[in-house]
Structures are given as C-alpha cells and as structure tokens.
Structure 1
C-alpha cells in the first residue's frame, strides 16, 4: 500500500512538473467591473479584452493591493477620476464603443497606468511625466498583447487581431516626433515651460514615450517602479529634478538604478 501511494505521489509530481509556466499560481487580477451602457459591446468581450491588457502590466506588480475599479462609457476622452463613486470604486471612463478593441486596450492601459502610479491631484507642474509614462504604458501593452495573442488570445478567433494591435501602436509612434533616449534632455528643456502648464500634450508625451519604450521592453520588471511615483506628495512649484529625486528616494533598492538611468537621460542627477 505504501508503495502504491508513493507511485501515485510520483505521478502527481510528474504531471505538475509538465504543466506550462502559465498554469502556476499567479496573483489575481485587480477587481474591476464594466458598466456596459453606451459601449455597444458585451460585458464578457470587454472584460476578457481588458483582462488581457491588464495582465501585461500587472504581472510586474507583485503584492500590490488596489481598490475595486469600475469602467464606464465616457464621451469627453478617457479619464480616471480622482473622486470615487458611492461604492468607493475608482472610476475609469473610456471613450470608445463597439468592437474597436485596439482603442479600448490603448485607452485602458493609459488609465490603468495612472492607477498603478497612485495618481493624485498635487504637483501639477510635473504631471506631464506621469502622462508620458501612461502613454508609454499604452504602447508597451499593445505591443506585448500582440505577442501574447499569438498563442493566448482571449478567444481563438481573436488570434489574428494581434496584427491590428501591433499596427495601432506602430501608427501612434509614426505620428510622433522621432527622438532617441539621449535626446530626452534637450527635448524636455525645449518644451518645459509648455509641459509644466499643460501636462496632456499628446504629441509631446508620445514622442518621449516612444523614446523610453525600449528601456521598459528590455527590462519590464522595472514597471513596478511607477508604484512609488506618487507615494510622497509633490509640492507646488517643485522642480522636475526634485520630482525625480523624490521618486528615486521612494523606490526599493532594486529599482533605484533604473530610475537613476531615466533621470540621467533627462539630464538630472539623483
């Protein structure tokens, strides 16, 4: 009987050893629900799509507790609201509908990035940097989804849509001014006054996002560093150099060299 039990245990071990990596226990996705009114798409399709987009970032955020989120239809551009609803949920509005899956994914990745950054209303002068990171998140997520969907699409018949995801990201990049990571310092200095007054200038945010994209694609584990971007408040009128120093001092040791690298590209020593 002992021998039989040993054989059973050995068999179970061998079966588990052969399971793909994706079958291993993973942190559950953040809790979010979709209010479908106005989207003209099914809740299941939107949820499965956004689950896929969420995972591309979320897998780099171990043990990060997030409050529940609700996704609603907006008509004035995508946005995550500072004010919670009556259920104390974080409210995200997406300005899209139907089966424009690339647009859903792009908008959601951007707003989800704000949530991961611990978005807060202070320090408006440097919000352009968070906006740039969130534009970067959209590009990163779209390109990552295009690869993931080759073998793990939300539905089998969505597999070929991965090309549309890639094309959408490529088209966004193609519309932006081309700069290299080593041109970020001069690019920011050229537009600093404008950016500090208006943080959401997509042609500027997008140019810098595209320049930073290779760094995050090469070392995606450092996405987690944005978790500490807003853990300390940003005082009114804070310089960008002090803003980056605040971020650098807040992140764990494993992310400090990465934040220092980004800061150096902007000509800032932290």
Structure 2
C-alpha cells in the first residue's frame, strides 16, 4: 500500500496518511485528540511521528517505537469513536516511548493504554463514546488482583477490568497522565515494586493518587 505522507495542518513534525474518502475529517479527529493528549501528558513535540491507516501488516492498530509509527485500522474517516478509541491507545504507548521494561509487567502498560481509550472517549459527547466505553466497562467480569502475580499482557478482559478500577482515579486526578511516561524508566520485578518506585519518582501532588492505584493490587 502506498502511503503519501502529509504533515498535520496544525501539528509540526507529525505526519499522516489515511487512505480514506474523508481524509480531512479523519485528520481533524486525530489532530484534536493529539493536542488534547499532549496537554495531559505534558509533551509538546512529536519528533516525526507518523500515523498511517489502514495497517497493511495486520488488521489491528499497532505502535512501533523504533520508527515512531502508529498504524490505525479504520475503514473510513467518519467513525470518530473508532478513531479516538484506537489512537488514544496507541498514543499512550507513544508517550511511554519504549514502554515498561519488564515483559511480565507489560500488562500494566496495556492496561494504561486501554484506560487511555476510555478516558479520552469520556470527554466526548455521549453519542460518540457510548458504544466503545460504557458498555465495555459495565459488562466486564471482576477478577481478584494481586501485587505478586504476573498477568497476560494481551488479556483484554483482564486489562479492561483493571482500567475500570483506574478510571475514577484518573478522572479525579487527570494530571496523573503526566506521570505515566516515567514508568518506562523503572526497573522492577513485580507490580508492587513498579508502583512503589513510580510513586517515589512522582511529584508530591500525584503520590496520593498512585497510592490509590497501589491499593487495587492486594
């Protein structure tokens, strides 16, 4: 597939190629979300980030840190909720750069990226977020969490359940997103140690919120 890169109209050094009929609407939806997330994550520059659609490799959204590349997989440019849901997840990976170091704790990164989808959809009108947000969270199965257990990175039901528990913490403390990139620079063997070290790195205003996250993992 031929991707003809174009710079975003209002975001320097950030490029896109969508291969859809409604290219301008697709660009506008992505641009608004990127700017919103940039505010919460406290990152203003994008170092040649490329957002391409659709994914020619696998029919799923993906982020490749090695070349600052995000693939979305949206059939046209008018599915605003689908664009936001996918891009918010992959942009969270992008803001975390190389991601959490320990593979056994990658599930927490996936959980935060799942949370990002729900969080940023919730800032949109009900008609936009209801299909991807409320229904998924309301129907998720409860699981017993432990600070000493390693979970499957790609267990979406498990990750969505943890995201459901994290959502009110982040909604109450939205500036906590600015602390998330710090997780990529922490060496830890368990989620308990990861969260403890994260809290130590966090600014004083966010330590209480991270303690609330620690309380989720018994």
Q: Equivalent residue for 2:127?
A: 163
Task: State yes or no: 1:142 paired with 2:93.
Answer: no
Q: Partners in 1 of 2:138 and 2:195 — Cα distance?
A: 28
Q: Scaled by the length of structure 2, what TM-score is found?
A: 0.82
Q: Equivalent residue for 1:262?
A: 213
Structure 1 position 202, deviation (Å): 0.6
Q: Equivalent residue for 2:149?
A: 192
Q: 1:211 to 1:135 in 2, by over 3 A?
A: same
The equivalent position to 1:92 in structure 2, one of 57, 60, 70, is 70
Structure 1 position 223, deviation (Å): 1.6
Residues 44-123 of structure 1 correspond to what in structure 2 (within 5 A)? 44-62=24-42, 65-72=45-52, 73-74=54-55, 75-84=58-67, 90-98=68-76, 99-120=78-99, 122-123=101-102
SS at structure 1 position matched to 2:146 = helix
- List gaps (5 residues or longer) in structure 2: 1-9
Paired residues of 2:65 and 2:94 also in contact (CA < 8 A) = no
Instruction: Please tell me the root mean square deviation across aligned C-alpha atoms, in Å.
Output: 2.5
Q: Partners in 1 of 2:159 and 2:12 — Cα distance?
A: 27
Q: 1:204 to 1:221 in 2, by over 3 A?
A: same
Task: State yes or no: 1:230 paired with 2:184.
Answer: yes
Structure 1 position 231, deviation (Å): 2.3
Structure 1 position 64, deviation (Å): 5.1
Bigger helix fraction: 1
Q: Partners in 2 of 1:119 and 1:41 — Cα distance?
A: 33
Deviations 1:241-262 (A, max 9, x none): 2211222222223322221221
Structure 1 position 210, deviation (Å): 1.2
Paired residues of 2:147 and 2:190 also in contact (CA < 8 A) = no
SS at structure 2 position matched to 1:229 = helix
Structure 1 position 145, deviation (Å): 2.1
Q: 1:225 to 1:50 in 2, by over 3 A?
A: same
Q: Partners in 2 of 1:41 and 1:175 — Cα distance?
A: 34
Q: Partners in 2 of 1:129 and 1:65 — Cα distance?
A: 25
Q: Partners in 2 of 1:78 and 1:61 — Cα distance?
A: 21
SS at structure 2 position matched to 1:258 = helix
Q: Give the number of the structure whose alpha-carbon radius of gyration is greater.
A: 1
The equivalent position to 2:21 in structure 1, one of 38, 41, 44, is 41
